[in-house]
Amino acid sequence: MYGRGRMSSSRLVVRDFAQIREASIAFRDLTVLVGAQGTGKSLVLQWLKAAIDGKYIVETLIDAGQAVSRKTLIDLIFGVGRGSAWRDGASEVSFEGKDISPATIEKRGDNVERLFFIPAHRSSLISNGWATPFQRLTPETPVVARLFSQNLFDRFNAREGSKLFPLDRILKKVYRELIHEAVFHGGTIGVEQTDQLSKRLRLRFEGTEETSLPFMTWTAGQREFTPLLLGMYHLLLPRSKQKDDNIEWVVIEEPEMGLHPHAVTVVMLLVLDLLWRGYRVVLSTHSPIVVTAVWALQRLAEHGASYQLVCDAFSVPTPHRRSLKPVAAAALTKKFATYALQYEGDRTTAIDISSLDPGAEDDAVSGWGGLAGFSTRFGEAVREAANAAPGRAA
């Protein structure tokens, strides 16, 4: 269904937690969650992390000196204040048919991270050009953000941190060129010594007059894209190795944050690379471009399209298409799912809109969970005005 990839799925069910009445999500190779702010997309994805990496999370919290108990665990995972959202006897979570609760999270998975989570608002984890380590972020910050910030901190401190973009050994030439064109425009990213005691992230432009810019002077898109790209480095291993042996899942929240549509398309091309490598990817988004890309891949697969048409859809320059044949061809074999979290009264429910059929009678499906509906309304308003304009024939 909706692609020709693996037939099995992993289902997560969340009932009666915070604003979520019920969310039942069957994850495929690529799964996309849409919905307005406050519908619970991030809570669903954090439950997925807890369901897969519960033991790893608990051990990390204990190592950081956190007071972990059944009473405190929900606050420590989801951020202080969320503990009251779990109601014994009412709240229910299960993954692949197994119940998950504050009493069982520590038994989920092993002491190795299997799901890599790139959170929204990732640029806020970089303060004064430097990532914040796990222990310096308070429990008010969800654990997925604390873990990702530690990953950035480790990368900044690594020997290769002096040059973070472009990295020839990780990024294919086509990706480097597309990222330059869409985001950095010839600039390079690295960690530089700013004084005798400090190192900071800088964006450097070389030319007639060399310029080195501190993080807070970058554009919003550059600040949001950089930690996203550095997170991708954790997954896009050097060419001698296709995939991390431990990591099976990748979650990216709002990959479009701060980005021009051109840059969003580049990010989605990197997502296709993750799929080709064998990761299962989950996105949450407010971007019609992300959902349009999924819709296009589904339709191309249905029509038996060639990999060249995938390259066309993602604006891959002709000289690079041959090198991306494995990635583009693999995208046509994958399975896709799209879910919309929508309010019904004062609580939200997840609706399967995976067909993305614009002719469907269900507005949630035809309107792509609301992402396409607003553009349609604008067009209808303009047509109505044009039809009612003075002098127009009846």
Give the tens place of pLDDT for each residue, 197-223: 788 999 998 765 678 899 999 999 999
- DSSP annotation string for 18-55: TTEEEEEEEE-SEEEEE--TTSSHHHHHHHHHHHHHHH
How many whole angstroms separate alpha carbon 374 and alpha carbon 367? 8
Query: Which 8-state DSSP code applies to residue 351?
Result: E
Query: Which residue from 172, 165, 166 is spatially nearest to 322, judged by alpha carbons?
Result: 172
pTM higher than the cut 0.95: no
* pLDDT the model gives residue 7: 42
182 shares its domain with 291: yes
The predicted pLDDT at position 224 comes to: 95
State whether 90 and 119 are in the same domain: yes
136 and 235, same domain (yes or no): yes
In a domain, 5, yes or no: no
Please check whether residue 246 lies inside any domain of the structure: yes
Both 343 and 368 in one domain: the answer is: no
Is residue 71 domain-shared with residue 185, that is, in the same domain? yes
pLDDT of res. 370: 79
- Whether residue 231 is contained in a domain is answered as yes
Determine, yes or no, domain membership for 393: no
Range of the domain at 382: 357-388
- Which DSSP string do the residues of 58-82 spell out, in sequence order? HHHHHHTT----TTTHHHHHH-TT-
The total number of structural domains in the chain stands at 2
Residues of the chain with pLDDT below 70 are: 1-9, 160-161, 207-209, 373-382, 385, 391-394
Rounded Cα distance between 231 and 152, Å, is 7
Cα–Cα distance measured from residue 123 to residue 74, given in angstroms and rounded to the nearest whole number = 25
CATH code at position 110: 3.40.50.300
> 347 and 368 share a domain?
no
Determine the straight-line distance between the first and last CA of the chain, rounded to whole angstroms.
47
User: Does residue 4 lie in a domain region?
Assistant: no
pLDDT recorded at residue 383: 73
Do 228 and 331 fall within a single domain?
yes
